[in-house]
Amino acid sequence: MRYVVKVVPGLVALLFLVMGVNFMLDPASGAAQVAVTPIGADGLNTIRGDLGGLFLSCAVLTIIGMVRNQGTWFLAVAVLMLVIAGGRLIGFVVDGAPGQATLTAFLFELGIAAGLIFSSRRIESVTRLD
């Protein structure tokens, strides 16, 4: 159990770190991966700032939770993922059935939130046993 509580957030942080760096360094490629078309320099800047910033912030928050052994940091990221997933649900209703990529992203967001919520509830009690 001790390893799961650290491995899940670790993998999540790594995923967010890679995604955030990709959006920051190559926003056109990152935008294409998420089916967004930036318009000019302003659009690329928005991809860097909004998406890159979001994912890098999630990575940092998750890493802080791991270093401090405090699940509250994981909950902050879980809330962000659940709000994003809620936005997708609104899109499913308003815009129609999602494509495979959007559905996959939705399921990943729910899975990440569930994994972080699980880890947040366990990390402090498990680390006290060390």
* pLDDT for res 6: 83
Distances (CA, A) of 59 to 15, 99, 117: 8, 27, 15
In Å, the largest CA–CA distance within the chain is 53
Q: What is the pLDDT of residues 5-29, one digit of tens each?
A: 889 999 999 999 999 999 999 999 9
Q: Which two tokens stand for residue 35?
A: 């089916």
pLDDT digits over 58-95, tens only?
999 999 999 999 999 999 999 999 999 999 999 999 99
The Cα–Cα gap between 127 and 17 comes to: 24
**Can you give the residue ranges of every domain in the chain?**
2-128
Q: CA torsion 57→46→107→118, rounded to 10°?
A: 10
